[in-house]
Amino acid sequence: MTGAKKRKNRLSLTDINVLKAFGRIFLKAFFVKHKPMRKRPFGAVSSGLLYKKKDIYSISIPQWACMYGGNDKGNGIMYMFKTMFAPAERIPKKELNGYYEELANDEMLKLITDAMPDVATILSPERQIIYANKALLALISGSSKEDYLGDRPGELLNCIHSAETIGGCGTTASCRFCGAVNAIIECQRAGKQVQNECRISAIADGVPVSFDLMVTATPFPFNDKQYIVFTVKDISDQKRRKALEKMFFHDVLNTASGLNGILYVMKEAEDRELLRELSGYAEKASSDLIEEILSQRSLVAAENGELILNNSNFQINTLMSEVARNMRHHKSAGGKIVAVEPFHGFHTMFSDMILIKRILTNLIKNALEASFNSDTITLAASEVGSNIAFSVHNPGIIPEAVRQQIFQRSFSTKGVDRGLGLYSIKLLTTRYLKGEVTFTSEDYDGTTFTVSIPANMSKVG
């Protein structure tokens, strides 16, 4: 019985020939520059090759992974998974269970991994989790291998990109810049330990969350098989502390130094007109100092779920004019124009005016820092259904690598240990103001960030 069933599920010679023919045609049609097809171990990272493992045959080519195998009735099935980066192939659940049992039966391995304080997993060559320690089960509130077996790291953490393609974690455009999958691939390629920082935007219980992680991929040969030990350490607190230190030691100190300089000049000044002008600068510098500190306090409260909105009625045009007027005096505004397009729609909003001010101020500040002399930054608003869509436009272009990571916590183009600006904008907008943040960046039209917020928060559930 067992032998008959085994033969029934095995691919016939005709099936294999069909697959090979399909592969040759597919590769010749789309990737004529690649080397001729040749057999390789299943799961290898390469282009235009036929892979084989038991009853699964696979062609891996740039952008696509094609799998052909036998189903329960013995019929051949072709699976095609698009990939933008890492191979999409997966091994069947039956084999995953076999790998798990082989690892779990090693008592020394179990003792060592469970003694590790950080999350530790063992990955197959296809980047699937086949074994994990107690720390991982505690992290996901799991109780057995069924809670993780076969998942890839991003899928286990509910990364927002892991469901964008049928191939899952590692196969989207954003994955090209992911520290985790790059560490795994480089470990496989070089055969040595690789450590990367990794930022993951995820969803937990329907709420957006962000992870700052240190991931390490280490080759792990076991019973003539090549696995990877993949460990994960949460460094969110460390990154947060460094960002706050940077803010206080750089931004706040610069503003305080400027204020101190103004006060020194005022002490020496005798001309009344000059004193009036300097007092205006001093008032602006002190306001900036207070706002910087309050912004950081709001962000910490928002991340902890402790931020309380202070909704009120306010004029939309007045809000926009005030934000633009303040930003025209920003240190990055020299030689640049901050323009406001008149708004013709709802005259008032009922929302948290202070939060919206901070969001628009941050967007304009980013636009100014990305622009050149004589460039125009435009603040506008439009009525979209029951929402008000505020937009900030500048003529610059955002590079692809930045676009894929732009809202991640700790990511910044301004240097190490920055990167809270756009992350805070998205956090405040989506979680508290019940809106959304989007952006476009095109060669012919520059860059536009749009923040869409309900016009009346009292009508939002």
**Given this model, what pLDDT does residue 181 score?**
96
Output the 3-class SS for 65-99.
EEEEEECCCCCEEEEEEECCCCCCCCCCHHHHHHH
d(CA 187, CA 230): 10
The answer to whether 136 and 142 have CB atoms below 8 angstroms apart is yes
What Rg, from alpha-carbon coordinates, does the chain have? 28
The answer to whether 302 and 432 have CB atoms below 8 angstroms apart is yes
Residue 385 DSSP SS3? coil
The token duo for 333 is 């505004």
Question: Helix axis angle, 353-369 relative to 272-303, nearest 10°?
Answer: 110
* C-alpha pair distances (Å), 225 with each of 90, 102, 220, 325: 16, 11, 8, 65
- Name every residue whose Cβ is closer than 8 Å to that of residue 32 and which is 6 or more positions away in sequence: none
d(CA 161, CA 165): 8
Q: Which residues of the chain have pLDDT under 70?
A: 1-81, 243-251, 345-346, 409-421, 461
**Given this model, what pLDDT does residue 134 score?**
93
The token duo for 261 is 């300089």
Phi first, then psi, for residue 352 (nearest 5°) are -90, 100
- Name every residue whose Cβ is closer than 8 Å to that of residue 138 and which is 6 or more positions away in sequence: none
The residues with which 79 forms a beta bridge, in sequence order, are: 67
DSSP 8-class letter at 174: G
Fold of 309-461: Heat Shock Protein 90 (3.30.565)
Give the dihedral sign, CA 402/405/408/411.
negative
Fold of 93-234: Beta-Lactamase (3.30.450)
**Given this model, what pLDDT does residue 418 score?**
45
